[in-house]
């Protein structure tokens, strides 16, 4: 009797997932998420360590359905992974600097590669405008910043012009997240 109930529950769960998959495959290209997927992303965005069982209960789905949705969101590229966010200040990185850089035109590609290898930089961008490269770096203090400029950046990269901007106070420093999409395009979700 108990085994019948277990198999019935498994079969019921599999049927729900099959129906869900058929429904998802019928949707037009570009509409790859439903409102439950969005809600799942919102829950994970709030606390990525929340147990699957709690998410399942909150969304009214089975644990297997939640695992399936997470896997599908990862495979489709909506969810790139789960990561740890470190606090730079706790590791002695007290100065954040935005660098605007120009290099010799014939060395742009190699300069971007070299700048990407510098451990001091957390972000390296190829940009349009007055400066062709923008980088964001973290440093312990002004002395380390000065050493980096004089012994590394200006020696190892053919810089023709640059400006550095020390961040005095951050008012917003978000990565792309669910809050940015949920209200921006209501037609994205079914």
Q: What is the pLDDT of residues 132-169, one digit of tens each?
A: 999 999 999 999 999 999 999 999 999 999 999 999 99
Give which of 121, 132, 134 is closest to 164, Cα–Cα.
134
Residue-range domains of the chain with CATH: 17-80 (1.10.10.10), 88-166 (3.30.70.920)
Tokens 């359905």 correspond to: 65
Each residue's pLDDT expressed in tens, for the chain with a length of 190 residues:
443 444 444 455 455 545 545 544 444 444 468 889 989 999 998 888 999 999 999 999 999 999 999 999 999 888 888 888 889 999 999 999 999 999 999 999 999 999 999 999 999 999 999 999 999 999 999 999 999 999 999 999 999 999 999 999 999 888 877 777 765 555 555 5
User: For the whole model, what pTM was predicted?
Assistant: 0.69
Helix (H) or strand (E) holding 47: none
């Amino acid at each position: 009797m108990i085994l019948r109930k277990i198999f019935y529950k498994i079969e019921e769960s599999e049927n729900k997932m099959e129906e869900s998959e058929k429904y998802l495959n019928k949707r037009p290209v570009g509409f790859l998420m439903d409102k439950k997927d969005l809600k799942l992303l919102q829950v994970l965005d709030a606390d990525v360590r929340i147990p699957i069982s709690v998410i399942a209960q909150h969304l009214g789905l089975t644990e297997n359905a939640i695992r399936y949705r997470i896997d599908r969101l990862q495979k489709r590229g909506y969810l790139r992974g789960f990561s740890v966010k470190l606090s730079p200040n706790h590791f002695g990185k007290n100065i954040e600097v935005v660098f605007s850089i120009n290099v010799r035109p014939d060395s742009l590609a190699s300069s971007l590669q070299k700048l990407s290898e510098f451990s001091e930089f957390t972000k390296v961008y190829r940009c349009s405008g007055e400066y062709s490269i923008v980088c964001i770096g973290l440093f312990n203090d002004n002395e380390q910043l000065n050493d980096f400029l004089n012994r590394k950046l200006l020696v190892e990269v053919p810089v023709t012009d640059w400006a550095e901007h020390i961040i005095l106070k951050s008012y917003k420093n978000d990565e792309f997240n669910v809050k940015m999409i949920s209200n921006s395009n209501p037609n994205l979700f079914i």
